[in-house]
Amino acid sequence: MSRPVALPTNLAKPSSEARYHIDYEWWQRSGQELNLYLAEHLCEDHRVALAAGNISPETVDWVDPVTGQVTQQVQLIYWLLSHCSRQPEYVTERTSLVDGVFRVLVATGNRPMSPAELARGTGRSAETILKTLSGKTIYKGIRVFTEG
């Protein structure tokens, strides 16, 4: 079977086998405030903690529950990873598609995921997820993951 020639990622049309992740460098370039957006996804308890200023500026070593890999996460993301993502109201049918995908990616340590995996996590169809994310507009830094 012949293999297709690889296109530059900004021109390649993603297929159902493409995997998506949160590109945090996009947030830095975009000028948008990542922390404000992350705060929108906190559970009630951690919103209160944030409002009270109980947030450490230090990063936390987060241990991936599947691989054991350690990544250093800012406090907001750590709260999402370790607590908020485990609450039942974290992703519901009222959560928008983009927010739902973002929350699922954060909850899994930003491990690149296919539309099918994101569909399982968000309850949305893989086709709709692929259509939404494969357009020219990049939503909340969610884009196709490329190696290297």
Partner 1 sequence: MTQRLTQTAHYWVESFQVVQSDIDHLYNILLERETPLSVDEMALILVRHRITQEKEAETKAIRSENAYRPANHYEVGDELVLSEFGNRTATVTALRAGNNPDNGVFTVITVELADKRLEFAADLAVDHALNETPDDDSDDADVELTPEEIFIEYGGEVSAALQQKLDQQEDLVRLAGRWFPRSLLADINVGHLNLAEAVLDMADGGPLETNEIVRQIGVMSEFNERLAEFSLNYGLQRDDRFDEVGPAGKVLWYLKRLEPPDVLTPPARLAYSPIAYDPNLLTPELVELEQEIGDEHSPMSAQRGRPQSVTLLLNYSHRRAGTLPLSHQLRMMFPTAYEAPRIRFTLVDGESGQEMPAWVARPGGYVYGLSDWFAQHEVPVGGYLTVWRTEDPSRVKITYASRKSRIEWIRTAQARENRVMFENRKLAMGSEYDELMVIDIEDPDAIDEVGKRYDERKTPLETITEDICRELVKLSQQGTVHAKTIYSGVNLVKRCPPGPVFATLVGSPRFEHAGGPYWRLAGGAVGS
Report the interface residues with partner 1, using CB under 8 A.
Answer: 1, 3, 16-17, 58-63, 65-71, 78, 82, 111, 117
**Smallest distance from partner 1 to CB 83, Å:** 9
In whole angstroms, what separates CA 138 from the centre of its chain?
13
Taking the least distance from each CB to partner 1, the nearer of 16 and 92 is 16
The rounded distance, in Å, linking the Cα atoms of 62 and 85 is: 14
Q: What is the dihedral sign for C-alpha 22, 26, 30, 31?
A: positive
Q: Least separation, in Å, of the C-beta of 114 and partner 1?
A: 8
* Three-class DSSP category at 24: helix
User: How many CA atoms, within 13 angstroms, populate the side-chain half-sphere of residue 9?
Assistant: 10
CB nearer to partner 1: pick between 114 and 140: 114
Look at the alpha carbons of 98, 100, 104, 107 in this order and tell me if their dihedral is positive or negative.
positive
Report d(CA 21, CA 124) in Å as an integer: 17
Cα→Cα distances 82→7, 33, 56, 70, 132, Å = 37, 22, 15, 13, 28
* Shorter beta-carbon distance to partner 1: residue 5 or 66: 66
Give least dist CB 109 to partner 1, A. 11
* Cβ at position 77, least distance to partner 1 in Å: 13
Least distance in angstroms from the C-beta of 147 to partner 1: 10
Tokens of 90: 């974290």
**CB-nearer residue toward partner 1: 82 or 132:** 82
Instruction: Give the nearer residue to partner 1 in terms of CB position, either 2 or 10.
Output: 2
